[in-house]
C-alpha cells in the first residue's frame, strides 16, 4: 500500500500584483510544499503558476504550484486573500468598501463550501473592514480570521526610523496601530530604539526632534499614496508582510505582529477588526497584547475604531 505523507498547503485567492508578489516570495521561502493560486481570471492564475514553477529548480526546497479552484482550499492550512478591486490614484482604502464587500462575500462562500477548516488571512483593502466581513461570512472563530492590519505600516515605520537613527531597522522597535489607513497612529510612547525611549533619545541628542518623528509618521501614513502615484500600486512589501504572517502561523512561532485582529474589549474597543499587537501561532491569533499607551494615543485609537465602525455598519445592515 502506498503511503502519502501529509503536506502543508497554502491557498492564495487573487493573482493580481499583491497576490503574485506573495506567491513569488512564498516560492522561495520554503514554508510549504503546495501553493495553489485561485483567481476569477483562470488564465492569469495559470500563467503565474507556470512562471513560478519554472523557478523551482533554483529554490531551496521542492514545491508544487498550480492554478486551482476553490475546492483546493479544503486541504489548505492557510488561505490568503488578496483579491478585490485595487486602490486607484486619489482613492482612499475606505472608498473600496462597497465594491469589495460583495466580492468578499462570494469568495468566503466558496472557500467554506470546500470544507476548509484552517486560518484565513485577509489583505484585500480596506483590510480591517474586509477581515471583519470575512470572519462574519465564514463562521470561523475570531482567532482564525484576521487581516494583515498594520504589519506593513509598522515595517514602514521601522525602516524609516532605522534610517533616521542610523541603525538596523530590525532594531527599531515601534508600532503603527489602528486602521490600516488615514487614521492609523504611531505609538511613540511604547517605542524603543536600542533600548531607549523616544523621550530619552530626544533629551540626550539634539540631532533628533519630535518634529522629525512627526514627519516620519506622516510619510508612513501616506506611503501608499506616494507609491501609487509613482508606480500604480504597492505589492512587494505587503507580499513580504504576508509571508511573515504565514511563517508565524505554520511555524507556530508565538511571535508578536501588528495584525488586524478582532478586538473584544482590548483598549476599550469591541466588535471590529483593527491593527493591534497580537501573538500569532498555529491557532491564528493566540492573544491580543495591550501595550501601554498615553491618553492622547488612546484617543487616536478610539477615533480610528470609530471611523472603521461607521464605515462597517452600513455594510452589515445591507445599506
* Residues annotated catalytic, as ranges: 180
Cα dist from 82 to 38, 156, 203, whole Å: 10, 20, 43
Helix (H, G, I), strand (E, B) or coil at 53: helix
Question: Could you tell me which residues are beta bridge partners of residue 69?
Answer: none
> Crossing angle for the helix pair 97-113 and 127-138, nearest 10 degrees?
30
Cell numbers standing for residue 273 = 477588526
Rounded-to-integer distance, Cα 188 and Cα 82, Å? 30
How many other C-beta atoms are found inside a 10 Å radius of the C-beta of residue 278?
A: 25
**Is residue 80 within 8 Å of residue 238, measured between CB atoms?**
no
> What is the per-residue DSSP string for 124-176?
SSSHHHHHHHHHHHH---GGGEEE-TTHHHHHHHHHHHHHHHTS-GGGEE--E
> CA Rg, the chain, in Å?
20
Helix (H, G, I), strand (E, B) or coil at 289: coil
How many other C-beta atoms are found inside a 10 Å radius of the C-beta of residue 96?
A: 22
> Which residue has 468578499 as its cell numbers?
104
Rounded-to-integer distance, Cα 84 and Cα 252, Å? 29
> Which residue has 511555524 as its cell numbers?
251
DSSP code, position 90: T
Closest CA to 227 of 87, 20, 84: 87
Amino acid at each position: 500500500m502506498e503511503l502519502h505523507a501529509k503536506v502543508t498547503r497554502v491557498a492564495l485567492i487573487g493573482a493580481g500584483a499583491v497576490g503574485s508578489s506573495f506567491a513569488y516570495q512564498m516560492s522561495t521561502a520554503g514554508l510549504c510544499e503546495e501553493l495553489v493560486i485561485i483567481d476569477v481570471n483562470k488564465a492569469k492564475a495559470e500563467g503565474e503558476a507556470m512562471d513560478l514553477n519554472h523557478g523551482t529548480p533554483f529554490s531551496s526546497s521542492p514545491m508544487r504550484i498550480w492554478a486551482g479552484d476553490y475546492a483546493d482550499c479544503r486541504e489548505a492550512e492557510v488561505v490568503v486573500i488578496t483579491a478585490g478591486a485595487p486602490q486607484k490614484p486619489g482613492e482612499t482604502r475606505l472608498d473600496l468598501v462597497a465594491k469589495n464587500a460583495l466580492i468578499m462575500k462570494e469568495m468566503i462562500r466558496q472557500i467554506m463550501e470546500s470544507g476548509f477548516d484552517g486560518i484565513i488571512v485577509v489583505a484585500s483593502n480596506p483590510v480591517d473592514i474586509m477581515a471583519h466581513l470575512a470572519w462574519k461570512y465564514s463562521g470561523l472563530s475570531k482567532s482564525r480570521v484576521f487581516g494583515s492590519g498594520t504589519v506593513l505600516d509598522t515595517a514602514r515605520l521601522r525602516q524609516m526610523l532605522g534610517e533616521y537613527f542610523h541603525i538596523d531597522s530590525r532594531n527599531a522597535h515601534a508600532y503603527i496601530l489602528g486602521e490600516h489607513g488615514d487614521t492609523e497612529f504611531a505609538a511613540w510612547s511604547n517605542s524603543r530604539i536600542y533600548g531607549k525611549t523616544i523621550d530619552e533619545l530626544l533629551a540626550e541628542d539634539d540631532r533628533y526632534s519630535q518634529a522629525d518623528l512627526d514627519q516620519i509618521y506622516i510619510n508612513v501614513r501616506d506611503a501608499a499614496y506616494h507609491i501609487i502615484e509613482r508606480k500604480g500600486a504597492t505589492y512587494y512589501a505587503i507580499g513580504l508582510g504576508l509571508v511573515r504572517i504565514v511563517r508565524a502561523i505554520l511555524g507556530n512561532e508565538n511571535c508578536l505582529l501588528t495584525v488586524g485582529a478582532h478586538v473584544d474589549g482590548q483598549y476599550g474597543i469591541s466588535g471590529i477588526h483593527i491593527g493591534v499587537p497580537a501573538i500569532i501561532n498555529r491557532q491564528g491569533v493566540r492573544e491580543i497584547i495591550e501595550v501601554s499607551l498615553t491618553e492622547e494615543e488612546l484617543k487616536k485609537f478610539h477615533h480610528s475604531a470609530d471611523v472603521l465602525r461607521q464605515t462597517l455598519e452600513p455594510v452589515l445592515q445591507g445599506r
